[in-house]
Structure 1
Amino acid sequence: MALSMLPPQAPERDGNSARLLVGGVALFPQALQAIEQAKQEVRIETYIFADDSVGEAFCEAMCNAAARGVTVRLVLDGFGGTEGIQTWAPRLKQHGVKVRVFRPEGFVFKPSPRRLRRMHRKMIAVDGQTAFVGGINLIDDMNHENERKELMRANARVEKPVQFSFGKSGVLSARDLQVNMDLLDQDLGPRYDFAVALQGPVVHDIWHSMEWLWLQIGPGGKVTDTFNSDWWKRRIAQYRDTLAQHRAQALPPTAGKVKVQLAVRDNFRLRRRIERAYLQALGRAQSTVVLANAYFLPGRKMRNAIVAARRRGVVVKLLLQGRIEYRFQHYATQYLYSSLLDEGVEVYEYLPGFLHAKVAVIDSNWATVGSSNLDPLSSLFAREANVIVHNREFAGQLRKELIQAIERGGRQVLPHDHAQRPFKARALSWLCYKLMLLAVFVGGFGSRY
């Protein structure tokens, strides 16, 4: 019975307004204003809820809304949301905000694929009328403390004089893997990311998707992936009533002329929804593809679709992470450059700050903005949410912004220069990429990636 209640793929909705927001500096004031004006209910899902000025502002806004009698729900990921769980959750609960933690991390480390199944969505919805969807966490754009800690931990792991042999062709020492900490001190700009402010019928689908995730989180943050748990069986009746109410509700009134579709990734029937949206759009591409992605390790089908578009004469530009945030991912991504550059794909690395965007524009009227990276974690494990916008004006605005980012802060990776990298750099990229593939196959996901 529970399987029959699984949310279907959301339809394309006409009659919406969709405003592109670049960075938290654009998103946060509008989202906070919407929360302050809420009359009935506020729903928030976020991966990171930082202990900084932005986190404090949202904590205060949620507490004030709850004090006015507004129902406020917050879903935090148990891994990414650690700061929010420790700093803000106690205060929020004290003021009547309902908080659920998606798979909290325990004190004892237990290796399990389930630990990779994170809640990576970033969505805010107010009164079922207004929503914000994108890749922006609740953290100051200039707060780079997490990145700094990651680099310091990475350097600490290679302090011991370990050596890795690569046959007769050379030796790679552990110290060669060290990160230049100056990367965090030289004119580091704001985190580069996007969100979309939405009004109109598509908010109906966003609201319902957030309800579905809320009900899946059980006692202690357990999340059902099978519907066999006793707590879920007790919750089925509650969800059935909610589903009936959802179907009976009228759609929010039209607010514009933009066609928008919500695309989510879950671990049920929508496992490949976002990936398929990319593949379909790439397969129809006729002129241009501009794609910006923070963690770019696409599977075979995605890489083939990008190459196939280029072979048809489509101009393909990729804006990828230029600064080292996660070393393993960074070097593994560089291994893919050669095959893409050989096909004429233009690759640029973003340098002014940390790239956190997960967006794409294909031709003149297809664009997507959301939380889903093109890597194994987003494609195989995490709960993600993107919106797909079919609108010439919106797509043009996003394309213009990405091209400007390439021109003002993108370092082009040239085929000759990439091929002439030192042996140790090439060996490191090869090793990281092969280890990533090994992990995917050991996890039993090779056929899906």
Structure 2
Amino acid sequence: MNTGPGGDACEPEGGAVKNVFRLFGEGDELYADMARSIRTATRRIFLASYILAADEVGAHLLDELMKQSRQGLDVRIHVDALGSSGVLTRQHRRQLRAAGVRLQRFHSWSWRHPLRYNRRDHRKLLVVDGETAYVGGFNIHREGSRRFYGPQRWRDMHVRINGPLAKEADALFDAFWCGDTQWNPDNPTVGNNRIIPNTTRACRVQLRCAIKEQLAGASDRIWLATPYFVPDRGLRKQLVLAARRGIDVRILTTEKTDSIPAQWAARAFYRELLEHGVRVFEYTPRLLHSKVLLVDDAWGSIGTANFDYRSLFINYELTLISENEALNGQLRNEFITDLRDAREITGIAWKHRGFIKGAYDTLGLLLRKWL
């Protein structure tokens, strides 16, 4: 078994219920694998993406989707109206619909409902025939491709799932498509793995509750990778308490960013965390966009949700929570690799950053719930 992303599939779980996982850390390999899955579909293809750009990357996948739609398959695309604004134009949408693709744009601007525009569909999900599912941080755009964007392509992680969880992902897409944004499977656990939305009818902050529970019960390590680190008070408290009881707590975020105010807000928390023993790193080579959380050896998550207010309280997200030993081992290896390319923030240096930088941090902190 290959332990690196883009290699062989992780070993399936034992027992009657089996899921097989494959991890991707390069967009070109992911997009090629998605295209192969689309070409082999026989019944239906469901695609949700916050950013779906009709550029060099997206145009190829859209062509494959239109071909399958013309062959009579049920092809549905759900994009976020804001995230895909300007990169999936009206002309592109007309072409898709002319090919028979069913297309929905989530929360387009409406003067009658202006506040809903703040709540976005941030999911990235492809499901083919209810048998294969892809979920993670990669959007569909050239920024994820070394071939088209170059060495500075975004650093991200995605996972392919074959097995019963793909069927749940299929049902989650279908419910959201039909307007039930809070639907969740009645029995969401499949072999100690779940794909969960962040909000359900039973719990408005389901993902946050799951994270908080794991942080509170950690006994060895908490390793977090996120491009936007803007945790609420309760999650910051759990990180601090874990570090104070001797847990190895490491936060890996990004030096290069596409949201300067979010970075200001993140840096406003550094001093508190450093003073209590949390280690903070900023990934330096390129923009880190992966969303991974590892607690001890047995629990890991990878998905679309950042560690911030918007993902945990406002937007719609999907996250794979897994106790698969092989998958979590791969995620740990990738985390360690990224740490080698990161700069550790030290408490002494951070105390002498200067007044202006501190003022920016304060501004970001004031805006943290809107970033």
TM, length-normalised to structure 1: 0.73
Q: Distance in 2 between matches of 1:272 and 1:266?
A: 5
Residue identity opposite 2:129 in structure 1: D
Instruction: State the distance in 2 between where 1:54 and 1:419 align.
Output: 43
What residue number does 1:421 align with?
353
2:78 counterpart residue number: 75
CA contact (8 A) 1:125 1:132 kept: yes
Contact 1:16/1:259 (<8 A) preserved? no
Give how far 1:431 is off.
2.4
Per-residue deviation, 1:311 = 1.5
Post-superposition CA distance 1:22-71 (Å, at most 9, x none): 13123111111000000000000000011311110111010111122111
Is the contact made by 1:311 and 1:343 (CA closer than 8 Å) also made in structure 2? yes
1:333-372 map, 5 Å: 333-372=266-305
Once the 2 structures are TM-superposed, how far is the Cα of residue 262 of structure 1 from its aligned partner? 0.9
Taking the aligned partners of 1:366 and 1:339, their CA distance within structure 2 comes to: 26
Structure 1 residues 269 and 117: alpha-carbon distance in aligned structure 2, compared to 1, 3 A threshold: farther
Aligned partner of 2:159 in structure 1 is 196
CA deviations 1:122-177 (Å, max 9, x no partner) are: 00000011100111111123579xxxxxxxxxxxxxxxxxxxxxxxxxxxxxxxxx
Q: 2:12 — aligned with what?
A: none
Q: Does 1:434 find its partner at 2:366? A: yes
Q: What is residue 228 of structure 1 aligned with on the other side?
A: none
Larger radius of gyration: 1
**Preserved CA contact (<8 Å) 1:294 1:321:** yes
- Contact kept? 1:134, 1:370, Cα under 8 Å: yes
Inter-partner Cα distance in structure 1 for 2:357 and 2:313: 28
1:63-142 counterparts in 2 under 5 A? 63-82=66-85, 83-105=87-109, 112-141=114-143
- TM-superposed CA distance for 1:87, in Å, is 4.9
The answer to which structure has the higher helix fraction is 1
The letter of the residue matching 2:161 is L
Give the match for residue 295 of structure 1.
228
Is 2:27 the counterpart of 1:16? no
**Any idea what SS the aligned residue of 2:142 has?**
coil
Please, which of 264, 271, 283 is the counterpart of residue 197 of structure 2? 264
Superposition RMSD in Å: 2.6
Question: Over residues 315-355 of structure 1, what are the superposed CA-to-partner deviations in whole Å (9 max), with x where a residue is unaligned?
Answer: 01111021132121111110000001111111111111111
Partners of 1:51 and 1:87 in 2: CA distance: 10
Q: 2:175 aligns with which of 196, 212, 216?
A: 212
Post-superposition offset of 1:188: 5.9
Letter in 2 for 1:436: R
* Distance in 1 separating the partners of 2:32 and 2:203: 32
Alpha-carbon separation, structure 2, partners of 1:208 and 1:214: 10
Distance (Å, rounded) in 2 between the aligned partners of 1:422 and 1:143: 37
What stretches of structure 1 of length at least 5 have no aligned partner? 1-12, 145-183, 218-223, 226-238, 441-449
Taking only the aligned residue pairs, the percentage that are identical comes to: 27
The residue type equivalent to 1:353 in the other structure is R
Which SS does the other structure have where 1:45 is aligned? strand
Instruction: Name the SS for the 1:291 alignment partner.
Output: strand
- Distance of aligned partners of 1:270 and 1:53 in 2 relative to their CA distance in 1, 3 Å threshold: farther
Cα distance in 2 between the residues matched to 1:137 and 1:70: 24
Looking at structure 2, the residues matched to 377 and 403 of structure 1 have their Cα atoms a distance apart, in angstroms, of 27
- What is the aligned residue count? 351
State whether structure 2 residue 304 is matched by structure 1 residue 386: no
For 2:26 and 2:119, locate their aligned partners in 1 and report how far apart those are by CA, in whole Å.
Answer: 26
SS in 2 for 1:48: coil
Q: Is residue 338–residue 418 contact of structure 1 (8 Å, CA) maintained in 2?
A: yes
Q: How far off is 1:380 after superposition?
A: 1.6
Judged with a 3 Å threshold, the aligned counterparts in structure 2 of structure 1 residues 379 and 394 are, in CA distance, closer, same or farther, namely same
Aligned partners of 1:290 and 1:261: how far apart in 2?
A: 20
Alignment counterpart, residue 307 of structure 1, candidates 206, 219, 240: 240
User: Residue 178 of structure 2: SS of its match in structure 1?
Assistant: helix
Which residue of structure 2 lines up, in the alignment, with residue 53 of structure 1? Answer: 56
Task: Please report how far the alpha carbon of residue 259 of structure 1 lies from its aligned counterpart in structure 2 after TM superposition.
Answer: 3.6
Question: Residues of 1 paired with 2:124 and 2:151: CA distance?
Answer: 24
Correspondence for 1:170:
none
Question: Is residue 280 of structure 2 the alignment partner of residue 280 of structure 1?
Answer: no
One-letter code aligned to 1:80: G
CA distance in 1, matches of 2:287, 2:153: 7
Bigger mean CA offset, 78-87 vs 112-121: 78-87
In 1, are the aligned partners of 2:108 and 2:117 still within 8 Å (CA)?
no
Deviation at 1:14, TM superposition (A): 4.3
In the TM superposition, residue 267 of structure 1 has moved relative to its aligned partner by: 6.4
Please say if residues 23 and 141 of structure 1, whose CA atoms lie closer than 8 Å, have aligned partners that are also in contact.
no
How far apart, CA to CA, are the structure 2 residues paired with 1:49 and 1:312?
44
- Determine the C-alpha separation between the residues in 2 that align with 1:199 and 1:430: 45
Among candidates 385, 397, 402, match of residue 330 of structure 2? 397
Taking the aligned partners of 2:254 and 2:97, their CA distance within structure 1 comes to 37
1:18-37 equivalences under 5 Å are: 18-37=21-40
Equivalent residues of 1:59, 1:88 under 8 A apart: no
Asked if 1 retains the 8 angstrom alpha-carbon contact of 2:138 and 2:144, the reply is no
Q: Hey, what's the Cα distance between the residues in 1 that align with 2:272 and 2:17? A: 39
- Distance in 1 (alpha carbons) for counterparts of 2:83 and 2:200: 19
**Gaps spanning 5+ residues in structure 2: where?**
1-15
